[in-house]
A and B are shown apart, each in its own frame.
Chain A
Amino acid sequence: MIYQYSWLILLAPLLSFVVIIFGTRMWDLASRPRATGASDAGHSHGHTDAAGHGHDDHEAHGDEHDSHGHNDDDDPKVPVLSWGARFSAYVGIFIMLASCVFSWYLLLNSVLNPDVLTYAGTDLTLHWNWGNLAALAPYAISFHVDHLALTMLVVVTTISLLVQIYSQGYMENSAGYARFFSYLSLFTFSMLVIVFAANFLVIFVGWELVGLSSYLLIGFWINKRARPDEDRPSPATAAVQAFVVNRIGDVGFIIGIMILFWKTGTYSFAALSGTGPQSVAHAFAGDSTLLTIAMVCIFCGAIGKSAQVPLQIWLPNAMEGPTPVSALIHAATMVAAGVYMVARTFPLFAASGSTAFEVVAWIGAITALYAALTALTQTDFKRVLAYSTISQLGYMFVGLGVSGAVDPEKFGAGPGMFHLFTHAFFKALLFLAAGSVISNLHHATHEEVQDMRKMGGLAKFMPITAITYLVAAFTISGFPFLSGFYSKDTIISLAHTNAATIPSFYGIWVLTLLTAGLTAFYMFRAYIVAFGGKGGKYAGFGGSREGEPELYRGVGTPHEAPWTITLPLVLLAIASIVAGYWFGLFSYLTPRAENISFMEIVTDGWTWLGVFIAFAGIAWAWNLYVRVGWERVHEVVENNAVLRALHRLTLHKFYLDDFYYWLTKYVFLGIAHIAAAFDSSIVDGIVNGVAGLVAGLGKGLRRTETGKVQSYMYGFFGGVAALVIIVLVLVAFTQGGVKNLW
């Protein structure tokens, strides 16, 4: 059966990682002239840049010292990419293309022919059970493919493929070009380990690999400094933060896994969710509280990885990485891991009753609203998208939670996975479009512009980027008949339906509806401020109307991106529209699950309430930023005490980040100081004390070493005599007297 060999897809990115790191990258480094080598490329950037682009660079250098300062710590560039570097990209793309085609074949084959792969799935032939040692059987490294894995698989490989194609254009002339592509492959491999994992141990290994890859990629621009004026940390700091915050969630994850293993003796998903003696249903019979605790602990891992409140702070800062990485992290490989993991362990959650699911749903709903409120006032183009991701991930958890809490069999993990599936495409599109803007503005202004206030009217300069971004913005807002409409509406209406059983879900329903309106507002705020503006002709595509000031507020003249960038945008725009038409997904994922139907959705009045709220958001954004203009809006907000306070509140993320910094600085650091003092005085004290004691003894005992041979002889013969006496005494006591010795 062909599905047993889908480990080829799993190992393919690892292969390209190895080939790039040990092959083409070495070739690239070897062929690079010494003068523009990686070590001093940061300093010689000015020269290489001038050599690469010609004369127009010098103007920017002359008048603005500040911009020069920013350029100085930019990504080191090489004037011309070597063939080694280019082949790094080709290797990654070719292998990923093959994987992607194979994945789509596997998915379509199993969708069209339900018999080829059962719901239980099949184990891959790639497994290692430690040389058949029975004692190590629970710790086997084994992989499994089923419908859920296949659904995720196509998302990961497709997004990864498009991101790699895109990165060719985005990372042009970067000195770390080959390394970048190797990391992308490693990232994809890590995620595929999670996708194919058949037990908790393997998924945890993949989990940590994803953490490592994201660390490497977020901190890819190691030379870049922090920009306190824009409230942006350095990539290195952001990478460390992402890593550390994820570890906090992982503590819970590990504890949850340990509780499950302690009670059941197995890590295998199949065994845990089955009906045998090792299943949770059997092992936790009559103790669903402990199982609930275990599942909430496991969900903590998802909170960290999927950036849910209260561990959401790392994701916006992860924006410091290159934009293709952001797209990969947000669409397919990193934050989706949390949702996928909960979907994977859905039967275990279901076995624990509804409480764990309610926790999941509430965390998701609160996160969705929190992130949407924060996104309202962000001025960084990418950060708006980061918060929208957090918000949409919240939706996914709401989908999983409300579906499982009432009747886990009815929809299964469908609603959450459906939104994950559609979101992957439009979020990747949003990020890649944002990356296109940033890259093109970098060409035009010679500095990194991510502040929307320095953009405006970009639709005229880069129409393809603008249109594709607009499609994605409509999709994420839930515009009717685009993919986001179906997946998001399913979740909202499910929350409403299931609220009849669990009344607290009415709260979740209201939160998600509110979030839908806010989402539409902030997405169109970002679109209008960046691509359009007040007084634009044909919604900004025709430039500004006569008599109106120029819409573009930056310097230079931006241009549309090359085809390597626009091709993925167009493909993703198409995918964002059509991905929502897979109505059979629910029954594909879960046996006997009900599918959503087109007629049910469009004839449901609540659907149109959601759409109305979304339209209200769009209209309000149009009103504020096209009719009034953002300068005027800003003025009004600044002059009104209440609005100003609210603005500050959301701009500073409800001071949650500041609270964490305070907590870290004064509480955790204080505890760390106490721990350090304990370590240096008590722990080290014991060790040093023992060492001092031994040293002192040695100092005293060495006096016995006189150098006189006769004193040694005294010791020698005295020792023998003592031994003889001891033997005699022992014999006297044990054998009943010395005389018995003879």
Chain B
Amino acid sequence: MSILELAHPTLNHFLVLGAVLFCIGLYGALAKRNAIAILMGIEVMLNAVNITLVAFSFYNTVKPFSTYLTGQIFAIFIITVAAAEAAVALAMIISIYRKRSTVDVGEINLMKW
């Protein structure tokens, strides 16, 4: 088995990459106190999912990919929605910052009992 064959990317490589990216994003979203960093974590997670979707679609052996671009189209939709979500979320963060002079989610806890 040559090194090239080993380097040739298979579906599993992309799935592992997606999983790693997803966990990094999840860690960022859960552990960071800065609201913008959390937003970035979420974006990383979304992109990890995009990679997985495209990979599944590309390595689809049941049907030729030229006829089925579901994964790719799904990824484009996610990118679009993520852009909108980022716009709304950043607007909210700015609004919160103007009111409370902080973006630390540990201190943004008014919505409780």
Contacts and interface: CB of A to CB of B under 8 A. Distances in A.
Interface of A: 702-703, 705-710, 713-714, 717
B105 A707 contact: no
Contacts, number: 29
The interface centre, meaning the residue of A703, A707, A710, A714 with most chain B CB atoms within 10 A of its CB, is A710
B105 A708 contact: yes
Contacts of B112: 705-708
B105 A717 contact: no
Interface in B17-44: 26, 29-30, 38
B108 interface: yes
Contacts of A702: 113
A713 B111 contact: no
A707 B30 contact: no
A713 B41 CA distance: 12
B26 A710 contact: no
B113 A705 contact: yes
Interface in B63-84: none
Contact of A706 (B30, B38, B109): B109
B3 interface: no
Nearest to B109: A707
Chain B interface mostly: loop
Interface size range of chain B in the complex: 10 to 19
Contacts of B109: 706-708
8 contacts: A705-B112, A705-B113, A706-B109, A707-B108, A707-B109, A710-B38, A713-B30, A717-B26
B109 to A, nearest CB: 4
B110 interface: yes
A709 B108 contact: yes
Contacts of A710: 29-30, 38, 105-106
Contacts of B29: 710, 713
A241 B30 CA distance: 75
A717 B45 CA distance: 12
A714 B38 CA distance: 13
Contacts of B106: 708, 710
A707 B111 contact: yes
Contacts of A717: 26, 30
Given A709-B108, A710-B38, 20 more contacts: A702-B113, A705-B112, A705-B113, A706-B109, A706-B112, A707-B111, A707-B112, A708-B105, A708-B106, A708-B108, A708-B109, A708-B112, A709-B38, A709-B105, A710-B30, A710-B105, A710-B106, A713-B30, A717-B26, A717-B30
Interface string B74-113: 0000000000000000000000000000000110111111
Contacts of A708: 105-106, 108-109, 112
Nearest to B111: A707
Nearest to A699: B113
Q: Report the 9 A-B pairs with minimum CB-CB distance, sorted nearest first.
A: A707-B112, A707-B109, A702-B113, A707-B111, A708-B109, A705-B113, A705-B112, A709-B105, A706-B112
B88 to A, nearest CB: 15
Nearest to A706: B112
A713 B108 CA distance: 15
A99 B57 CA distance: 88
B23 to A, nearest CB: 11
Nearest to B106: A708
Nearest to A718: B30
B30 A714 contact: yes
Contacts of A705: 112-113
B113 A703 contact: yes
A706 B38 CA distance: 18
A709 B103 CA distance: 12
A710 B107 CA distance: 11
A709 B29 CA distance: 10
A710 B106 CA distance: 8
A712 to B, nearest CB: 10
Contacts of B108: 707-709
A719 to B, nearest CB: 14
A669 to B, nearest CB: 49
Contacts of B38: 709-710
Contacts of A713: 29-30
B44 to A, nearest CB: 14
A706 B112 CA distance: 5
Contacts of A714: 30
A714 B105 CA distance: 14
Contacts of B110: 707
B56 to A, nearest CB: 14
A709 B26 CA distance: 14
Contacts of B30: 710, 713-714, 717
Nearest to B41: A713
Most buried by A among B38, B106, B109, B110: B109
Nearest to A708: B109
Contacts of B26: 717
A230 B38 CA distance: 91
A696 to B, nearest CB: 15
